[in-house]
Chain A
C-alpha cells in the first residue's frame, strides 16, 4: 500500500515575516532580517548582531491573554506558527484526534541566564559551586512557572492540547536537522499507517546569553557587527560565519485520501526524506561530505526521483567556511553534472540561522517557491569562492517553475537530513493542482 503524504497547512514566524504571506514578500524583496541584537544587552559581547523576530506578539493571535507569558520565545513562536498551519489547513472538530499527532524539532530553551548565574554566584565556596547551596539558591531564585516551560517538548504538548491531537506527541533534537527530521519522521508515520494527520515542524531561539556564549565559543558566528546586513554571506569568498536567528515553521501533513475526503487544499506533496550520519567528528562535517551526500541520495531514492528532476535546492548554507564548501561538494556528488544546472540558494542570508527550526522554515520557503514559481536569492553573495562554484542565485529572486524541490540541512554531531517537496500531481488525471498562493 502506498500512502501519499501531502501538505495541507503551513505557518511560520520568522525575522522577515510572521506568516507565509509576509515571508514570501520578504524573501522576494531580498529583505535581510539581521540587525543589532536587542533581546538583551549584548553591547559588551564579541558578537552583537542577530536576526530577531520583531513586532510580533502571540497574545494578539492566540488569545488567552497572559497564558503564554511564562513560555520561552520558541514556545510562543511554535504556538503561533502551529495555529496558523491548523487554520490554513481548515482543521475542525471533525478530525479524529486519535489519528492526529504532533512531532516537532524544537531545541533546548536553556533557561533563565540571570537566575542561573545568580544561583551559581551565590553558591560559590572557595572557587567552586557547592551543589547543596546551588539547590537551595536555585529553588529560591528561579521562577517555577517559567522553569516548567523551559523544556524542549513543551511546544508540542501545548499544541497537542490546543489542536486536540491525541495520537503520538513527540519532540526530537538532532541539532540543526531537528525540524527537518521531525517533518520526515511525521511523513513516515503517515506512510506506515500509524496516523492520518500530523502537525510537524520546529521552533527555536538561541538569541540569549547561553546561546550566544555557546556559539561564540565554537567560533561559528560572524563578527561583522559594523554591518549586520552584510554579515551572512553564504558561499561567498569572504564569509566568516552565521548569525543567530530564531523563529518557527509548522505544517499539517496529511494522508492524501484523508485530505481529499475532507476537501482540503493541497499545498504540495512530501515525496522524499533522507537522514544520515557523517560518523566522523562531533565538531566538523566529514570533509568529503559523505553524510550530506547520503541524506540527499536517500531523499531522492525515497521520492523515486533522479537528479534531473530537482529544479531548486534550498541549501543549509550557513555561511561558515566549512559548511558551504562541504555542502557544495556533497551536492555535486549527489547530482553529478546536473548540479551545475540546478539553482541553489541559502535563505539564511536573510533569515539568519534558526538552528533546530531552520529546516522547517526552509521547507516553508520551498513550498512558497513551488506555489509562486519564484525562488529566493542568496543575499550578500558577492565574491565567488573557487570551492563554491554552483549557481547560488545571487541577490535577486528568479522565476523557476519548479516541480520538485529539495531542502538540505546539516547539524553538529554529524547529523544530516534532506526533504523533497513536489507539486501535488493528481496522478489519475495528470493534473497539477495549485494550492496555497503567496
Chain B
C-alpha cells in the first residue's frame, strides 16, 4: 500500500493550543518544558491537601480561552455551564489553536475556510461521573440518619439531577462545543481509545482531508485522571507511582521509577492541506508524514505492548518514507511504570536497531504527568515546539539509567530536535499509536518567539 501513501495529499500543522500543568499558553508551556527551574513533576496524593502539582492552573476563566471578540466570549461563558472540566480544557485548547492559525498571517484558518469544509476530530476519555452531580438526589433519598434508600431514587432522586446532566458526561462534547462556538460544520468525531486517542485522531483527521470531505480539521485531545472517580479507576488499572507516599514522581526509563502520575490537560492543533495553507499565508509548524496504530492484545503485557508499538512504529515510518536513522527524535509514551517502559524500550530498539544509541528520546509525562487521552496531544505539541525552536527538553527526574530500558534519554535542554520526530503512545492493553512529523521545508516556518 506504500504507493497509495506516496500519492496522498500533503497535510501541515498550522496552529497549536495547550492547557497543561506546565502552562496555559504555548510560550509558558515551552519555557517550563525546557527550563531547569520548572516545577517538578510530582502529584500529591489525593486527599492530602487538595493541592496537586500535576493539576493545571486552568480555572475556565474566559481570558484563558485567548483573545476573542466579545460575542464569542459571551457564548463561551454561557456554554461553560454545560461543560465538565475535561470539556472546558479541550474547548480552551481548541480555541487557542484556532486563534494561533492567524497569529502570524493576515487570515486565520477560521476566516479562510467555509464552515462546511472545517471538521473537528478529538480524542477523549470516558467522562467521569461527578459525585456532586448526584449528591442532592442521594440526600433526597436518605432518611434523617443519612441512610440512603436506593428504592426511592425513581421518585425522589431523579428530579434532583440537573436536567442536562447527561450532556456533561458525553465524551464528544469538546468537539461539539468547539463546532458550535466556531461554526465548524464539517465532519465531527471523537475517539475514545484512552492514551492512544490523540494520535488516532490525527490519523483520522488526515483521512478526512484526504477523502475530500474537509480542507481543515481542528484536532485535539483532552483528559484528566484527577477527578475522584478517575483516580479511583487509575488505582484499579494502573501502576500509580509510589501511591503510599505523599508525593508521586514520574521517572520514565529511570531505574527508580515506581509508576505513572495522574495528571490533566488538553492540547489541540489545526491541520490543513498544504496548498490551501500556503495560499492563505499560514505559518507551518510541521508536516504530518505518517500516522497509524497497531495492536497486540494478549495476556503477557510486556510482549503485547512491545509488539503493538513495533507495529505502529514500523507502519508509521513506512508511511513517512523515512528510514529510522532519519528521525530526529522520538517522543516516548514514557509512562514511568516498570513494564510499560521496558516494553517501550524494547520496541524502540527493535525498530531503530543500532541507531537507538543516538536517537534522542524525550518523555514529557515526566513534567506534565499523565492526562490519559490528553497526554498524547500535549506530547505531540511539545515535540512540535522542539522542532520550531530546534532544541529538545529534558526528561525530568531521570538520573539512574535502567539496563532494561536502554534508550538515549535526553537530560539536557540544548540537544538538537532534528528535522523530524515520531510521537508514540501506548495503552497498556496492547494498543499503540504513532504520528510522524517533519519540518516543512518549502515555505514559511513558524518564527522562534
Please give the residue numbers on chain A whose beta carbons come within 8 Å of chain B beta carbons, in ascending order. Answer: 1, 41-46, 98, 101, 108-111, 113-114, 116-121, 123-124, 127-129, 131-132, 134-136, 138-139, 142, 144, 147-148, 150-153, 156-157, 160-161, 165-175, 181, 185, 188-189, 191-194, 209-210, 213-219, 274-283, 290-291, 294, 298, 302, 411-415
Contact = CB atoms under 8 A, between A and B. Distances in A.
B171 to A, nearest CB: 5
Interface stretch (B64-72, B224-232, B336-344, B348-356): B224-232
Given A46-B154, A277-B188, A131 B228 contact: yes
A170 B293 contact: yes
Contact of B158 (A46, A193, A274, A279): A46
A170 B46 contact: no
Contacts of B142: 121, 124
Given A44-B151, A217-B162, A168 B129 contact: no
Contacts, number: 271
B377 interface: no
19 contacts: A45-B158, A129-B135, A147-B233, A157-B297, A160-B297, A161-B298, A168-B203, A173-B190, A175-B172, A194-B203, A209-B153, A213-B161, A214-B165, A217-B162, A218-B163, A277-B179, A279-B115, A294-B185, A415-B176
A160 B208 CA distance: 24
A120 B188 contact: no
Contacts of A167: 293-295, 311
Contact of A161 (B3, B213, B233, B297): B297
Contacts of A134: 131, 228, 232
Nearest to A153: B193
A302 B211 CA distance: 9
Contacts of B138: 117, 120-121, 124
**What DSSP secondary structure best describes chain A's contact surface?**
mixed
Nearest to A297: B116
B13 to A, nearest CB: 20
Given A170-B293, A277-B179, A117 B150 contact: yes
A150 B153 CA distance: 22
Nearest to A278: B185
A194 B155 CA distance: 52
B19 interface: no
Nearest to A209: B153
Nearest to B293: A168
B46 A132 contact: yes
B1 to A, nearest CB: 4
Contact of B431 (A113, A157, A294): A157
A144 B158 contact: no
B189 interface: yes
Contact of A43 (B154, B179, B180): B154
B211 A108 contact: no
A111 B129 contact: yes
B165 A217 contact: yes
B135 A127 contact: yes
A42 B154 contact: yes
Contact of B170 (A173, A294, A298): A173
B151 A41 contact: yes
A108 B171 contact: yes
B105 interface: no
Interface of B: 1, 3-5, 7-8, 46-47, 50, 79, 82, 115-116, 120, 124, 126-127, 129, 131-132, 134-135, 138-139, 142, 146-148, 150-155, 157-158, 161-167, 169-173, 175-177, 179-180, 182-194, 200, 203-204, 207-208, 210-211, 213, 228-229, 231-233, 235-237, 292-298, 307-308, 311, 429-431
A185 B171 contact: no
B194 A151 contact: yes
Contacts of A175: 170, 172
A275 B165 contact: no
Contact of A280 (B82, B150, B180, B308): B180
A279 B236 contact: no
B138 to A, nearest CB: 5
A398 B141 CA distance: 50
A215 B164 CA distance: 9
Nearest to B227: A131
A101 to B, nearest CB: 8
Contact of A139 (B79, B129, B203, B235): B235
Contact of B131 (A123, A169, A193, A216): A123
A148 B236 contact: yes
B431 to A, nearest CB: 5
A108 B169 CA distance: 9
Given A120-B138, A121-B138, A279-B180, A135 B129 contact: no
Contacts of B193: 153, 156, 169-171
Nearest to B229: A138
B270 to A, nearest CB: 16
B176 A124 contact: no
Contacts of A127: 135, 139
Contacts of A189: 207
A142 B233 CA distance: 10
Contact of B236 (A43, A109, A147, A171): A147
Nearest to A168: B293
- In the complex, the 3 A-B pairs of residues with the closest C-beta atoms, listed nearest first: A132-B47, A214-B166, A413-B176
Contacts of B47: 131-132, 135-136
B191 A172 contact: yes
Given A120-B134, A147-B236, A171 B172 contact: no
Contacts of B431: 157, 169
A302 to B, nearest CB: 7
Nearest to A133: B47
B213 A275 contact: yes
A106 to B, nearest CB: 9
A210 B146 contact: no
A217 B134 contact: no
B188 A153 contact: no
Given A216-B158, A415-B172, A139 B207 contact: no
User: Which interface residue of A167, A210, A217, A412 has the most chain B CB atoms within 10 A?
Assistant: A217
A13 B35 CA distance: 56
Contacts of A277: 120, 176, 179-180, 184-188
Contacts of A117: 134, 138, 148, 150, 153
Nearest to A118: B148
Contacts of B115: 279
Given A167-B294, A172-B192, A414-B176, A108 B185 contact: no
Contact of B167 (A44, A151, A412): A412
B311 A173 contact: no
Given A120-B131, A139-B232, A168 B295 contact: yes
A119 B131 contact: yes
Contacts of A302: 211, 213
Contact of A185 (B120, B166, B170, B207): B207
Contact of A173 (B171, B185, B229, B231): B171
Contacts of B311: 98, 166-167
Given A108-B126, A153-B192, A192-B4, A279 B185 contact: yes
A131 B227 CA distance: 9
A110 B154 CA distance: 18
Contacts of A157: 297, 429-431
Contacts of A275: 186-189, 213
Contacts of B120: 277
Given A216-B158, A415-B188, 10 more contacts: A124-B135, A131-B228, A139-B235, A170-B193, A170-B200, A193-B4, A213-B166, A279-B185, A281-B180, A413-B170
Contacts of A120: 131, 134-135, 138
Contacts of A111: 129
A182 to B, nearest CB: 9
A170 B191 contact: yes
Contacts of B179: 277-279, 414
